[in-house]
Amino acid sequence: NLQLPLATMLDLASGDMDPYALVVERRLSHMAEAYHDRAAVTAAAGEDPVIYRAYEADVPHEASQLVYRMTIIEPGRIGDEFYMTKGHHHVVDSGEFYLGTAGTGAVVMQTRSGEVRVEEMPPGRAVYVPPGWAHRSVNVGTEPFVFLAVFFGNAGHDYASIERDGFAVRVLADGDGYRVG
Ligand code: PAN
Ligand code: ZN
- Domains of the chain and any CATH numbers: 9-180 (2.60.120.10)
How far CA 179 is from CA of 30, 40, 169, 173, in Å, comes to 25, 19, 10, 6
pLDDT at 70 over 90: yes
Range 149-155 average pLDDT: 98
Per-residue model confidence (pLDDT) at position 12: 98
Rounded distance between C-alpha atoms, residue 118 and residue 35, angstroms: 18
Which ligand ends up closest to the CA of 139? Answer: 1
Range 142-170 average pLDDT: 98
Cβ burial, residue 113 (10 Å; 0-12/13-18/19+): exposed
Per-residue model confidence (pLDDT) at position 5: 97
Per-residue model confidence (pLDDT) at position 86: 98
Rounded distance between C-alpha atoms, residue 167 and residue 138, angstroms: 12
Per-residue model confidence (pLDDT) at position 1: 82
**Residues with beta carbon inside 6 Å of ligand 1?**
26, 54, 69, 71, 85-88, 96, 135, 137, 149, 151, 157
**pTM score, whole prediction:** 0.98
Amino acid identity of residue 159, one-letter, is Y
